[in-house]
């Protein structure tokens, strides 16, 4: 895995090169500077395989373009990089359509707006790489099993398997929480009915309690590997909770078998609407890529 991320100018030049053909990427098209980004290497199924890195880079770029922070320019940047109406078109046609989509004269778009878009995506790629630099926690990669893999009758083998089992349960809980948090953000972006968003938020709170319980148990059994906070931050942004509120959500989640049962259980001890739901509904996110806060 790379130990040093490319410089900003290299990443910017790499994005300009990607623009020539647009998305999707193939193994032969991405510039080396982009394939060396920590966020790309960390997401690749096989970091040693350029094709695997290219696939990871393609997914990362699609995600960043889909969440472009300037909503007025977002349709244009998607077309420019070959998504939506820009799919399958050459760069000249993509530029023309993108300029039209954001209501700019074509020459001004090419000279001013397009460079600003590349600059923004460069900053987001580097910020993503920095987040990977700051965490050593990477979900274990899975390989297809071609046969049953029995465990030998040996204390060391049992210990290793127990650790893998515990780690897998942690990541299962973290990813389940992240899925619910992504659903919440998508519903908010779609401006769905508040009641539907609130239901999704209750489910996310239940998942938060489950994940927090698993993370705490893992940290107790394997101290020093990862703190509960470090693990929870990976799922995405959640409202700030006091220690007392966190304990109540954890207890209700442990006692509940599903989100509906959790809603009933937590209502006895906590006003979930004020603690968890309102923070999402009362304020728009300031960053299109959710960041974690200490809790």
Q: Are residues 205 and 127 in the same domain?
A: no
Q: State residue 160's pLDDT score.
A: 87
Q: State residue 136's pLDDT score.
A: 63
Is residue 148 a part of any domain in this protein?
no
Is residue 13 a part of any domain in this protein?
yes
Q: State residue 139's pLDDT score.
A: 74
Which structural domain, as residue segments, surrounds residue 92? Answer: 8-134
Percentage of the chain beyond pLDDT 90 is: 65
Q: Which of 119, 134, 149 is the last residue of a domain?
A: 134
Q: Are residues 127 and 168 in the same domain?
A: no
Q: What is the mean pLDDT of residues 187-206?
A: 94
Mean pLDDT, the chain, whole residue set: 88
Is residue 295 a part of any domain in this protein?
no
Give the model confidence (pLDDT) of 124-175 as tens digits: 999 988 877 766 666 777 778 888 888 888 888 889 889 889 999 999 999 9
Q: Are residues 125 and 202 in the same domain?
A: no
Helical segments of 67-105, H only:
74-80, 91-101
The pTM score is 0.68
Structural tokens at position 66:
């889909």
Percentage of the chain beyond pLDDT 70 is: 92
Question: Cβ distance 200 to 276 under 8 Å?
Answer: no
Residue 288 binned pLDDT confidence (cut-offs 50, 70, 90): very low
Residue 2 binned pLDDT confidence (cut-offs 50, 70, 90): very low
Give the model confidence (pLDDT) of 216-255 as tens digits: 999 999 988 888 998 898 899 999 899 999 999 999 999 9
Is residue 154 a part of any domain in this protein?
no
Residue 177 binned pLDDT confidence (cut-offs 50, 70, 90): very high
More confident residue, 118 or 295: 118
pLDDT-wise least confident of 22-31, 57-66, 269-278, 279-288: 279-288
Is residue 287 a part of any domain in this protein?
no
Q: State residue 134's pLDDT score.
A: 61
Q: Are residues 181 and 124 in the same domain?
A: no
Instruction: List all residues 6 or more positions away from 50 whose beta carbon is below 8 Å from its beta carbon.
Output: 27, 35
Q: State residue 90's pLDDT score.
A: 96
Is residue 289 a part of any domain in this protein?
no
Q: Are residues 26 and 130 in the same domain?
A: yes
Q: What is the mean pLDDT of residues 70-86?
A: 94
Is residue 264 a part of any domain in this protein?
yes
Q: How many domains does the chain have?
A: 2
CA distance 163 to 221: 9
Is residue 12 a part of any domain in this protein?
yes
Q: Is 221 exposed, middle or buried (0-12, 13-18, 19+ CB in 10 A)?
A: exposed
Question: Cβ distance 126 to 11 under 8 Å?
Answer: yes
Q: Which of 99, 134, 169 is the last residue of a domain?
A: 134
């Amino acid at each position: 895995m790379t130990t040093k991320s490319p410089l900003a100018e290299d990443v910017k030049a790499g994005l300009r090169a990607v623009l020539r053909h647009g998305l999707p990427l193939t193994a032969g098209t991405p510039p080396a500077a982009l394939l060396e980004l920590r966020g790309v290497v960390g997401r690749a199924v096989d970091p040693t395989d350029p094709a695997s890195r290219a696939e990871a880079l393609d997914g990362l770029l699609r995600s960043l373009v889909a969440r472009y922070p300037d909503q007025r320019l977002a349709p244009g940047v998607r077309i420019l990089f070959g998504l939506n109406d820009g799919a399958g078109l050459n760069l000249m046609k993509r530029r023309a359509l993108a300029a039209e989509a954001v209501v700019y004269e074509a020459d001004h778009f090419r000279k001013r707006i397009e460079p600003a878009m590349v600059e923004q995506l460069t900053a987001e790629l580097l910020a993503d790489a920095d987040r990977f630099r700051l965490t050593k926690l990477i979900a274990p990669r899975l390989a297809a099993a071609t046969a049953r893999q029995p465990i030998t009758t040996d204390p060391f083998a049992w210990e290793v398997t127990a650790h893998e089992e515990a780690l897998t349960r942690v990541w299962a809980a973290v990813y389940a929480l992240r899925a619910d948090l992504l659903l919440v953000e998508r519903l908010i972006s779609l401006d769905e009915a508040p009641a539907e968003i609130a239901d999704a938020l209750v489910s996310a709170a239940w998942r938060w309690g489950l994940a927090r319980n698993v993370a705490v148990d893992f940290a107790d059994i394997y101290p020093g590997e990862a703190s509960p906070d470090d693990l929870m931050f990976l799922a995405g942004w959640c409202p700030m909770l006091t220690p007392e509120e966190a304990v109540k959500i954890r207890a209700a989640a442990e006692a509940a078998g599903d989100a509906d049962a959790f809603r009933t259980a937590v209502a006895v001890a906590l006003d979930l609407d004020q603690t968890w739901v309102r923070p999402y509904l009362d304020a728009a996110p300031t960053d299109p890529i959710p960041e974690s806060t200490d809790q």
